Homo-oligomer: A and B are copies of this chain.
Amino acid sequence: MTFSVTILGSSSALPTSKRFPAAHVFNTHERLFLVDCGEGTQIQLRKYKLKLSRLERIFISHLHGDHVLGIFGLISTLNLLGRKAPLAIYAHQEFEPILNKNINFFIKNLQFAISFIPIEANQKKSILFEDQQIIVETFPLKHRIPCNGFIFREKEKTPNIKKHLIEKYCIPLSEIVRIKQGANFTLPTGKVIPNSELTYLSSSPRSYAYCSDTMFFSKLAEYVKNVDLLYHEATFGSEMASLAKQTGHSTASDAAKIASLAKVKKLVIGHFSSRYKDIDPLLTEAQQIFPNTSAATEGDIFKIEANRVKL
């Protein structure tokens, strides 16, 4: 089952001729979740053949234009395409009035419902969305204005029972459902076999964290601990560390330090300042601290394969 991230935009506030403003698409089982929506997102969605009809939810990290100005055109296009399914938008509360003003001005006869879910800019990690397949968590970042990161996690699946133990202990069918739900099994001798010994997960849940604009702070590593794929902004190289701090951004080293502290499996850096025509120095800087790093480029797809558990 798909669990992937497509990069639609890798630039910071000033787009270049090749790099679009911030937007990622998280794809889980062909359900699309848009993360940030910079200008031109709808054009990039089409370019990379992501079906607009599959778009289910939009998560906006913060209200700087380069992360959100594509949303009015995107909503207009969804309407022109005849969308009827509701669209959920998660953003800080201040966005709701300006969103509604632009929709009322630019879109006549909106044919689908938009549900606006405010993100609270508090200092806790919390759950924004949850269903049978996925959990979306949010956590605070440190930027010039309230800014939140997101983690998309697969839900834990029902465990399987080890086949050879079914035979060994002659476990009846009636007990299997209970064991899958977490029960232990008692042998006719009275000996209890603990659930953990009887069951296993066929794959461990996958996770993707999106750390939009933020300066370095070590607690961030706790928020994104052990994720499979960490996207972290790296607007600058370490030669611009003081400007990074001043503007509430990170260097490539900062991003790599978080990846390393959090023990993530893979790091992707992005949100590059337009001053870097060549981003190889940023990539090299990050890889010196965290080797398994890639630099985001428009159209890149990062697939996270299921983590099969070996018995």
Interface magnitude class on chain A = 20 to 34
Task: Tell me the A5-24 residues at the B interface (CB within 8 Å).
Answer: 13-17, 20-21
Complex formed: what's the CA distance from A198 to B17 in Å? Answer: 52
Partner pick for A107 among B39, B65, B70, CB 8 A cutoff: B65
Decide if A106 touches B76 in the complex (CB within 8 Å): no
Binds B, one of A97-105, A110-118, A126-134, A208-216: A97-105
The interface residues of chain B lying within 8 Å CB-to-CB of A102 are 98, 102
The interface residues of chain B lying within 8 Å CB-to-CB of A107 are 65
Complex formed: what's the CA distance from A90 to B66 in Å? Answer: 24
Decide if B73 touches A69 in the complex (CB within 8 Å): yes
Answer whether residue A42 sits at the interface, using C-beta atoms and an 8 A cutoff.
Answer: yes
A191 shortest CB reach to chain B, Å: 64
Task: Tell me the A58-83 residues at the B interface (CB within 8 Å).
Answer: 63-66, 69-70, 72-73, 76-77, 80-81
The interface residues of chain B lying within 8 Å CB-to-CB of A81 are 14
Answer whether residue A47 sits at the interface, using C-beta atoms and an 8 A cutoff.
Answer: yes
Answer whether residue A140 sits at the interface, using C-beta atoms and an 8 A cutoff.
Answer: no
Complex formed: what's the CA distance from A13 to B98 in Å? Answer: 22
Which residue of B is nearest A69, CB measured?
A: B73
In the assembly, how many copies of this chain are there?
2
Complex formed: what's the CA distance from A63 to B105 in Å? Answer: 9
Decide if B69 touches A72 in the complex (CB within 8 Å): yes
Answer whether residue A46 sits at the interface, using C-beta atoms and an 8 A cutoff.
Answer: yes
Answer whether residue A43 sits at the interface, using C-beta atoms and an 8 A cutoff.
Answer: yes
Q: A102-B102, A105-B98 are in contact. Are A43 and B65 (CB under 8 A)?
A: no
Partner pick for A80 among B13, B39, B43, B80, CB 8 A cutoff: B13
Answer whether residue A40 sits at the interface, using C-beta atoms and an 8 A cutoff.
Answer: yes
Complex formed: what's the CA distance from A56 to B159 in Å? Answer: 65
Task: Tell me the A187-220 residues at the B interface (CB within 8 Å).
Answer: none
Q: A39-B42, A40-B40, A101-B101 are in contact. Are A17 and B47 (CB under 8 A)?
A: yes
Partner pick for A106 among B21, B42, B69, CB 8 A cutoff: B69
Complex formed: what's the CA distance from A13 to B40 in Å? Answer: 13
Decide if A73 touches B65 in the complex (CB within 8 Å): yes
Which residue of B is nearest A38, CB measured?
A: B73
Report the 9 A-B pairs with minimum CB-CB distance, sorted nearest first. A17-B47, A65-B106, A39-B73, A40-B40, A17-B46, A69-B73, A65-B76, A98-B105, A15-B43
Extra A-B contacts (16), CB below 8 Å, given A14-B80, A65-B73: A13-B76, A14-B81, A15-B77, A16-B46, A20-B43, A21-B73, A39-B40, A39-B42, A39-B70, A65-B72, A65-B76, A65-B107, A69-B73, A98-B105, A101-B101, A102-B102
